[in-house]
Structure 1
Amino acid sequence: MKQISFIHAADLHLDSPMVGLKHLPADILSRVRKSTFTALEKLTAAAIDRNVDFVILAGDLYDGEDRSLRAQSRFRNEMQKLLQKDIPVYVIHGNHDHLNGSWVHLEMPSNVHFFGSDVEVKELHTKRGEKVHLYGFSYLQRHILDKRIDDYQKIEPADFHIGILHGNEGGGTDHDNYAPFSIKDLYGKQFDYWALGHIHKRTILSENPPIIYPGNLQGRNKKEIGVKGCYHVSLNDLEANTEFIETSDVVWEEVSVDAAAADNFQEILQLCQVTIERLRKASLGTLLTLNLKNVQLVDIHEKKILDSELLELLLDYEKAEESFVWIVDLIVQNNLQLDRKHLINEADFYGELFATIDDYQNLETAIGPLYEHQMARKYLKGLTASEQNELLEKAEKLLIGLLYQ
């Protein structure tokens, strides 16, 4: 039975600058900035460990069109490891590392095969004798907005046909609509596998034949949450098997913690610590956005401590952790249910504020512009006395919440 095995990865973005993280401790910042290289090393190790027939890199190896010498050098070193194991690598360039950029070229090992700006086919004969045709193209410039899928033409004979494409399916994503295509377009080519790139979220568009975005190797910001990696793919005459391989060294996460049941600062601290331990991943670092919801601290002193010292306490435990969970963004959402008497006792200002609210007579004037708006006035009716009071109560709660923050 004919069979092949390969690694499919995309969007390495080597040497990504990881902007906005300068406030991190030096050791953690250094690790974050090296994380794209660490992910590449994990990919290489996986390819060697699984003794694959070849590796596919489906675009955006580098983060920018200038292709830093550091990134090229690290990439070359990893490719040399694969050369020593006689593992070829097939590469297309995407919109970030397009062919028309300006950079100092470092020569790559002979096992690395780059596709040009026109769709072409590269022929591979595996050690067992299978014949594989790989189809793809590299971006000539940053913006490739026309459909290039029509240029992919199946060429026989071959045991397996694999398409490599850096582009957008359907156009309904947060990414720019480069080299657009539809799943129907890919089905029509009757290939055995489609190795996609460009979308950083891991997505399987089809299982038969496999049409896969592996996502990027390493998350680079808080929008790219979760573990990242690549796929180990095995194809034979009857079936396809895919295995996701984790490669990220630093993981971005976002969680919400409901603090409604916490009566004091100590309980909130414990809630956060439990959440951090739950997210801790062996040998991986985590950069966390923590949403602390429904905080209801009444004691003004504890409220001040929460605002000024909670984050510092949580981070203090992480500085020496290899498997750190570092909070890059702490968002506290208060759900205060404080009565007027408590607030008036806390500060004279609140007594004056509530007196102003109780004497407020200008509600109709305040909302008047809504009724004057050409579109809004078609849908608005006059407010009853009960509705006006409800509106004032909501405004009061909003104002108190903002003042307490």
Structure 2
Amino acid sequence: MAFEFVKQQVEKRKQQQLFRQRRCQSSAQGRLIDIDNQQFVNFSSNDYLGLSHHPRVIDAWIKGAERYGVGSGGSPLVTGFQKAHYQLEETLCEWQGREGALLFNSGYSANQSVIKALLKKNDVLIQDKLNHASLMEAGVLCDANFSRFQHNSVSQLANRLESQQGENCLVITEGVFSMDGDQAPLKPISDLCKQHNAWLMVDDAHGVGCLGDQGRGSADQQNLTPSDVQIQMLTFGKALGVSGATILCNQALKDYLVNFDKSYVYSTAMPAAQACAVTEAIRVLQTQPELQQQLADNIALFRSLAIENNIAVADSNTAIQPIIIGEADKALAMAESLQGKGFWVSAIRPPTVPVNTARLRVTLSSHHQAQDIVDLINAIHEVSKENYGHR
């Protein structure tokens, strides 16, 4: 019976044009990728600055592996906390102006860890409606009173805060939203949290590396300090080009998480070599501002060309540039047509995004060439006009 249920659910997804499949890539991340013996210009990667193949970052991983091996050997409280992990935490604190940093194997686990460790029965959790699935799932599973506010609606957040009864309240938003590319108004959100004695946590997975001085992220770009955003979650697998994540906070919260966060206490630590690579990626960010500038130039070029060609792009000034198509089958067909023209652009469909908002999610990087962007815009214009009428 259980397997019949599984089969039925998979078949339902297929009929709805929502079935997901992996495509095996035979090349490194980069401007060009090889899939199924065909080469594409890659407009789907979160490797926004090309650091996944930066020579300094690769060399740091190699030297780290030679010194520490390829595994950490245990959880951080047993044998899995090595000098490379300590140095990465210190680098993160210095870079971000924080007292404490704690390392996790993924942004998903970091987000869930904080919510589960901090919030108990009768506590309050309030989240932006478009927050990442890791945050939403943890909100549903935790014992706190969980509510959401309309995307980026400061007024509705104010109403939620005014009506909340718990003594311990956590508000969470993303810095840059992963499917829409827009940014949260962090200053008014922070001001509200202070007025109501609530914690503010910002998931800046898609902002760190791309925004702010030395790529410090959304809070820095919007002139906020650690006292304005008590908790930051940053990932290492996007603009930093490696993998893993960190929770940035004050020393007291760090000590609390080390003692009470089960995910941290009972998970094997990331390899020390990986920590070496992340540390070097941060140093590249700090010494090569031209990477951020090139990304900004590519974003501006894409948006100006899209407007010239009557392509309706969303209100985003970040590396994430969604083109809303609406129906899932149409978004999938457009993505396949673009593949036929040599461009790898992902079709994002429900349940990742709301029904009737399926989209092409174009992601830009510093290693895209201007001609790549020109050619992509022309291809989108042609595919849209040929298949669905002029958009």
TM-score (norm 2): 0.28
| Higher share of residues assigned helix | 2
| Higher share of residues assigned strand | 1
Which structure's CA Rg is the greater one?
1
